[in-house]
Amino acid sequence: MQPRHIYRSFTGLRGLACLFVVLSHCVQEPHMYPGPYSIQTCGSAAVYFFFCLSGYLLSKNALTDIQPKKNECPNHLFGIKLCKYFIKRIFRIYPAFIVAAVIYHIIMSKISDEAMNTYPKLVFYKVPLANVIFFHYDDSHLWTVRTEMIFYIIMLPSIFVVAAEVLRIEYKYIRSKYPFLSIAYYSGLTGTAIYFHVKNGYISAAWDNRNDFFVSFPVFWYGCLAGIFSHYIKLYDVKVFQKEGKIKSATTEVITYSILLKIFFANEGVALSYFEKVYPIQFQSEVTNAVFYSFLLFFLDVTKEDCSLGRFTSHGWIYCIGDWSYSIYLIHYGILILVQQNTELVYLEATTLCVFLSILAGFLLNKLIEAPSVKCGAYVIKQLEKLCEYMKKIYYPLLETCIKKSKKDKNSNSESSSSPFCRSEVAQNSNRRSDGKKEIDINICTSPTIANATE
C-alpha cells in the first residue's frame, strides 16, 4: 500500500463547498436571511463538486495501488485490497450517517405535524428508521450519501477491478509502447458518461432527477478521468508547470482563476441575479460544470497546489472546516430546524447562528463519532492484515511441502515406468527358470552386475 498524499487544498475546497450548502439551505427557509438566488444555486454546485472530488481522489488512489511504479507488473485489485477499501468506506460513512439519522428522527418527533410540513427535505422521517439506514427514502439533503455509497460500493470497484486486469494483460501479453487497450477501455467509459450527460444532465441543472444515479455518474466519471490523467503524469514523470519563476506563477494564477470564473458565470443564479441573462441549459448545467471542477482539481494537483487558491484553502479554519465537512453536512439541517423552532431570531442573525452552530455540531460529531469510527476501521484493517500474514506463514510452507512431495512422487513414477532395463528384466524373469531352481523376482531396476550374478 502506497502512502497517501494529503491534499490540503482539496480538503479546504470541500469545506468551502460545505459552507455553500449550509448557506443555500438557510436562505431557502422562511424567517431566514433572504439571500440572492445565486446563493441558492451555489448549493447544488457544491454537491456536484463533492461528487467530482470523490471520483478524483478514489480513482487516483486506486491506480496508485494497481500500478505504483512504471516498469512493474500491475497488481490485482481484488482480494485483500478490495476488502480494505470496503472497510474504509463503510467505517468512514455509515456510523456518522446512522447517528445523524437517529438525531433527525428525535428532532422531528418533537415537532407538530403542521410544523413538520414546513420541512419537506426531512420527509424521510415518515418512513421507518431501518429504511433510512439502508437509504430507502426519496427526498432529503441526505440523498447525496446514498448516491456516493452506490458509487463507492458498486461503480468504482467494478470499474477499477477491470482496469487492473486490462493493465495486467497489456503488461504481460501485448507489451506495446502505448497502452491502446487501456485507452480504449477508458474511452468507452467516457463515451458512456457523455451519453448520460447529454440524456439527463441538461434537466434543470440535473436537479429534478438528482436521485437517479446515472444523472450523477458523468460527474463522478469526469473526476475519475482527471485523477487518471494525474496518476499517469506522475507515473511517467511528465513535467507540467514545473519550472520556477514569475512566468510559471503568473500562468498558474491565470489558469486557476479562469476556471473559477467560468464556474462562477455559468451558475444559473449568478447569470440571472447579476447579468439578467438566461444561458442555454447546456452551458449552466452542473453536470457540464463538473468538467471544469475536475480540471481545477487536476491543475491544483499537477502544480502541487502552488497558487494563491491552493495556499488559501490549505491553512487555518478553511482546512479544519473541510476536515469536519461530512459531519457538518449531515447535521446542519437539524440545527436549522432547532434555530427556527426555538429562537425568535430572523434573517441575518438566524442565518449566522445556524452556520456557527452547524460548524460546532459538525465538529462534535466528527470528534465523537466520525474520527473514532475511522480509527476503528483502520484497526480492523490492521487486524485483517495480521491475519493474512499469519495465514501466509501457515499456508505457504504447507503448500510448498505439498508441491515438493507431488513433484518427487511424479519423478519417481516416471523413472520407474520409463527404464528399459527394468522392463527387459521383468520379461526375462517371467519366461525363464523352468528348471525348478529358486526364482529371483526382479521387480525393481537393478544393475547389470547384480543381474549376471544371480544367473
Q: The pTM is what?
A: 0.80
pLDDT digits (tens, 9 = 90+) for 146-184: 888 888 888 878 888 888 888 888 888 877 667 788 888
pLDDT digits (tens, 9 = 90+) for 401-410: 777 777 777 6
Q: Hunting for cell 491565470 — which residue is that?
A: 254
Span of 367-371, 372-376, 407-411 with lowest mean pLDDT: 407-411
* Greater model confidence, 404 or 355: 355
The answer to whether 297 and 56 are in contact (CB under 8 A) is yes
Q: How deeply is 72 buried, as exposed, middle or buried, from its count of CB atoms within 10 A (0-12, 13-18, 19+)?
A: exposed
pLDDT at 287: 79
Burial 322-334 (b: 16+ CB within 10 A, else e): bbbbbbbbbbbbb
The answer to whether 343 and 353 are in contact (CB under 8 A) is yes
User: Mean pLDDT, to the nearest integer, of 411-437?
Assistant: 52
Structural domain contains residue 432: no
pLDDT at 357: 92
pLDDT digits (tens, 9 = 90+) for 54-93: 999 989 888 888 888 877 788 887 778 888 888 988 899 8
HEC-encoded secondary structure of the chain = CCCCCCCHHHHHHHHHHHHHHHHHHHHHCCCECCCCHHHHHHHHHHHHHHHHHHHHHHHHHHHHHHCCCCCCCCCCCCCHHHHHHHHHHHHHHHHHHHHHHHHHHHHHHCCCHHHHCCCHHHHHHHCCHHHHHCCCCCCCCCHHHHHHHHHHHHHHHHHHHHHHHHHHHHHHHHCCCCCHHHHHHHHHHHHHHHHHHHHHCCCHHHCCCCCCHHHHHHHHHHHHHHHHHHHHHHHCCCCCCCCCCHHHHHHHHHHHHHHHHHHHHHCHHHHHHHCCCCCCHHHHCHHHHHHHHHHHHHHHHHCCCCCHHHHHCCCHHHHHHHHCHHHHHHHHHHHHHHHHHHCCCCHHHHHHHHHHHHHHHHHHHHHHHHHHHHHHHHHHHHHHHHHHHHHHHHHHHHHHHHHHHHHHHHHHHHHHHHCHHHHHHHHHHHHCCCCCCCCCCCCCCCCHHHHHHHC
Q: Count CB-CB contacts under 10 A for residue 305.
A: 18
* Greater model confidence, 215 or 225: 225
Q: Look at residue 203 and tell me whether its pLDDT is greater than 50.
A: no
Structural domain contains residue 55: yes
pLDDT at 454: 36
Structurally, the chain folds into a number of domains equal to 1
Structural domain contains residue 451: no
340 — pLDDT class (breaks 50, 70, 90): confident
pLDDT more than 90, % of the chain: 16
Structural domain contains residue 203: yes
Identity at 38, one-letter amino acid code: S
Span of 161-175, 224-238, 247-261 with lowest mean pLDDT: 247-261
pLDDT at 446: 38
Structural domain contains residue 439: no
Q: Which residues lie across from 347 on neighbouring strands?
A: 32
175: its cell numbers: 507489451
* Greater model confidence, 239 or 439: 239
CA distance 297 to 172: 33
* Greater model confidence, 299 or 344: 299
pLDDT at 365: 94
Q: Look at residue 389 and tell me whether its pLDDT is greater than 70.
A: yes
202 — pLDDT class (breaks 50, 70, 90): low
pLDDT at 46: 87
CA distance 153 to 134: 13
* Greater model confidence, 429 or 285: 285
CA distance 405 to 300: 57
User: Mean pLDDT, to the nearest integer, of 99-125?
Assistant: 70
Structural domain contains residue 19: yes
User: Mean pLDDT, to the nearest integer, of 302-325?
Assistant: 86
pLDDT at 247: 57
* Greater model confidence, 388 or 433: 388
Would you put residue 31 in left (φ > 0), alpha (ψ -120 to 50) or beta? left
Structural domain contains residue 285: yes
455 — pLDDT class (breaks 50, 70, 90): very low
pLDDT, mean over the chain: 76
Structural domain contains residue 424: no
Q: Look at residue 95 and tell me whether its pLDDT is greater than 60.
A: yes
pLDDT at 376: 94
The answer to whether 280 and 201 are in contact (CB under 8 A) is no
pLDDT at 3: 47
Span of 276-280, 341-345, 363-367 with lowest mean pLDDT: 276-280
Q: Count CB-CB contacts under 10 A for residue 181.
A: 15
Q: Hunting for cell 434573517 — which residue is that?
A: 347
Q: Look at residue 426 and tell me whether its pLDDT is greater than 50.
A: no
Q: Look at residue 101 and tell me whether its pLDDT is greater than 70.
A: yes
For residue 35, what are the domain limits?
8-394
Q: Look at residue 423 and tell me whether its pLDDT is greater than 60.
A: no
pLDDT at 110: 74
CA angle 114-120-124, nearest 5°?
A: 100
pLDDT at 111: 73
* Greater model confidence, 113 or 189: 189
User: Mean pLDDT, to the nearest integer, of 309-329?
Assistant: 89
